[in-house]
Amino acid sequence: MARLFKNNSMEAANAIIEVNNLYHYFGKKKILEKLNLAIPKGSFVFLTGSTGSGKSTFLKILHAELAPTAGLVRVENFVIGPKNKPKIHLFRRCVQMIYQDFEILDDYSVKQNIEIPLRCMGISKKNRQKRIEVLLKVLELEEVKDTPSIFLSGGEKQRVAIARAISTSPKILLADEPTGNLDKRMAKRIMKILSHFNKHGTTIIVATHSIELKSLVENPIHLTISDSTIQEIK
């Protein structure tokens, strides 16, 4: 279970993500304040909070896209801080993110978008194609596999973003509203896929407004952001 802690070395040692005295500001606006948190390996975490509470900001800090104003974050063996940024090509092999606004390349086909992180990891063409074929089938994208992404629907783009993020079987998967553009049937299917990865060791953090998704996961951890701090809801 996740723990809000103060200098607890045992909890920190068992954590794949450790947040120490974290602050983040946009200009003078306080977004996150004095966060101390340890998340054990293999956890499935739901992160809730109102719009603008800092959920996306927190995920972007964990993804090394944003530097915190103060404090340190350890993600696996990488350290993120105001003046600390991991080597991104190594970090992305460990941590992937599903974006709320997709972040896929419009001019690339579905297959080409999914292939990007696999190429970056140096996976052979044969193995890339095997992984892509499985993902296309599971996420029901086979009929649009050669379609430029600019012509896809919002739900199709969301599924491409999910396929790309899970294609490398990352140790940590961050997901910002991964089911926000999907119908209930596909949302349940996506949660089943994420649960499969979680059962095989992937630590997953899902930022969402749809807390009913918790019922689709075994032993989830529920964290919520309010007034710039994170609390665990048991």
Ordered by start, the domain boundaries in the chain are 9-233
Residue 46 confidence class, pLDDT cut points 50, 70, 90: very high
Residue pLDDT, tens place only, 111-160 = 999 999 999 999 999 999 999 999 999 999 999 999 999 999 999 999 99
Percent of all residues in the chain with a pLDDT value above 90, rounded to a whole number: 90
Looking at residues 168-194, what average pLDDT do you find?
93
Residue 108 has pLDDT above 60, yes or no: yes
Looking at residues 200-220, what average pLDDT do you find?
94
Mean pLDDT lowest for which of 11-15, 52-56, 112-116, 171-175? 11-15
From the list 190, 120, 129, the residue with the least C-alpha distance to 159 is 190
Task: Report if pTM > 0.85.
Answer: yes
User: Spelled out in words, what is the top-level CATH class assigned to the domain 9-233?
Assistant: alpha beta
Looking at residues 7-27, what average pLDDT do you find?
80
List CB contacts of 36: < 8 A, sequence separation 6 or more.
Answer: 4, 5, 6, 19, 20, 21, 22
- 29's enclosing H/E stretch is strand 29-40
Residue 3 has pLDDT above 90, yes or no: no
- Could you tell me the two tokens for 208? 């969402």
Q: What is the pLDDT of residue 17?
A: 97
Bridge-partner residues for 51, per DSSP? none
From the list 64, 70, 73, 58, the residue with the least C-alpha distance to 16 is 73
Bridge-partner residues for 232, per DSSP? 223
Looking at residues 93-109, what average pLDDT do you find?
95
List CB contacts of 229: < 8 A, sequence separation 6 or more.
Answer: 32, 33, 34, 35
- Residue 37, judged by CB atoms within 10 A of its CB (0-12, 13-18, 19+), counts as buried
Mean pLDDT lowest for which of 10-14, 60-64, 143-147? 10-14
Q: What is the pLDDT of residue 2?
A: 53
